[in-house]
Amino acid sequence: MLDQATKQRLSDNLRPAAPPLEIDKPYTEDQHRRLLGVVREHAPWKLILAQHFASPEALIATLSGTLPQGVTPTLDMWLTPTFRGFYANYSTALYPEIQDCFYNEAFIGHAKKYWNAQYAKPQMMLFNVNGPCANTDPGHLDTPSFRGIRYENSPTWLCSVMGKSGLFNKYLIKMAQVITWFSHDAGSGFTYWPNGPLGEPQRLIPPVYNRGVVVQNEMLVHRGEANGPVDQRRPKGLALNSLFSGDPADKDGWLVKTDDQVIARYRTDDLRFLVHWSAEVFEDFAELKKNMDGSDNLTYDQVFETFIKDLRARGISLNVPADPLSDREFISTLNAAYDIGGPVRYPAEAPVDTLNISQAA
C-alpha cells in the first residue's frame, strides 16, 4: 500500500501542461462525412480491448484503480462494445480522403499555442466508435511516448506506468491532442482531473456533438462517459472477437457481429463517435533535433534499472524477469508501486459502471 504522501506526489505528477481548452465545431460537415465514410468503407473494426492488451494485468496497468480484493482479473470484466481504427500513424495519413483532416493547419496551431512552442507535426489520428455503451474505465492516461520508448514500439502498459511514475519526465515527448466527439446523447460527456486524480473532477458537459478539447491526454487522467439506454449498453454475445461494421443493406445502419451472428444494430444518430488527432510538439529547434536524431533515447535496460533503483530506495524488492514486457506478475507488481488507486471523486452525473465480474467468473 502506498502512503498518503507518495499518493499525493504521484497524483501531482499527473497534471497536463495546461487545462483542456474547449473548441466548437472542429470539423466541417463534409469532413465528418468523410471520416465516418472511412469507418464504413474499411470495416470491420476490432474492439479496443482486443487490439492493445494481451493480459488483464497489462490492461490494469493502463488504468487508475484496483480490483476488489480476492477477484482474479480477466479481460472479459472490462468488455464493452467500443471499437477502434487508425486514420493516420507515423505522421502519415492512411487514407487519402481524410488528408486535410490529418494535416490540419488549425489543429497544428492549437497544438503550438497550447504548449507555447515553435514547432508541431501531426503524428497519429484514430477513432473510437460505439453505440449504447457502458464504461467501466475508472480513468486512464493515453499512452505517453518517451524518447526511444514510444507507443509505436512498446507495450501500452509500460508507457503508462512510466507516465504514472514521474521518473522519466525528462524524456517525455511533448504532445497535444484535439479530441472531438460526435454524440447526441444528452448525458454522455467527458470527465477529467486537471489537478491530478486526487483533485476535483471536471467535465465537458454533454451533448458533445462536434465539440472538442485541446489537451495533453498523456498526463491527464480522464475517461469517456457511458452513453445510450442502460439496457442496451452490454449486448448479449459480445466477445473479444466481436467486430463493428456498416450494415451493407442500410447506408445509415451499423452492426456488431460476433462470428457470423449480429448481436447489435445501430443508426448513425445512436453512435458515440470520437476522433483523436495527436501531434508532437517541440519548444524550439534544439528540442526538435534531439527528438528526431535519437541522441538522447531511452533503452529498456535503462527503464527497468531506473524502476528497480527507485523501488529499492523505497524498500520494495523486485527482480526483472526474463521477459519483463509480458510477465504478468512483474507487470502487476510494478504497476502497484505507482498506481494511487484511482480518482477519489467522480461527477454525480457520470459514475463508473460496474465491472462484469459475475460474467467473467
Q: How far apart are CA 138 and CA 142, in angstroms?
A: 13
What domains appear along the chain, each with residue ranges and CATH number?
A: 4-53+79-149+172-297 (2.60.120.620)
**DSSP secondary structure code for residue 27 in this structure:** S
- How many percent of the chain have pLDDT more than 70? 97
Q: Please, how many CA atoms are within 13 Å of residue 113, restricted to the half-sphere of its CB? A: 10
Q: Cell 508532437 maps to which residue? A: 280
Q: How far apart are CA 335 and CA 64, in angstroms?
A: 10
Q: Cell 447526441 maps to which residue? A: 184
Q: For the ranges 15-29, 57-71, 302-316, which has the lowest average pLDDT?
A: 57-71
237: left (phi over 0), alpha (psi -120 to 50) or beta: left
Q: How far apart are CA 351 and CA 29, in angstroms?
A: 32
Q: How far apart are CA 7 and CA 9, in angstroms?
A: 5
pLDDT exceeds 90 at position 265: yes
Whole-prediction pTM value? Answer: 0.93
pLDDT at site 62:
83
Residue 199 CA: distances (Å) to CA of 84, 105, 149, 196, 215: 30, 34, 29, 5, 17
First to last CA, the chain: 26
Q: Which amino acid appears at position 338 of this protein?
A: Y
Contact 19, 357 (CB under 8 A): no
pLDDT at site 67:
64
pLDDT at site 72:
79
Task: Encode pLDDT of 115-143 as tens digits.
Answer: 999 999 999 999 999 999 999 999 999 99
The C-alpha cell of 221 is what? 487522467
Longest dimension (CA), the chain: 62
Task: Encode pLDDT of 66-111 as tens digits.
Answer: 666 677 778 888 889 999 999 999 999 999 999 999 999 999 999 9
Strand-pair partners of 182: 273
pLDDT exceeds 90 at position 217: yes
Residue 265 CA: distances (Å) to CA of 99, 152, 232, 253, 260: 30, 33, 10, 7, 14
Average pLDDT over residues 263-270: 98
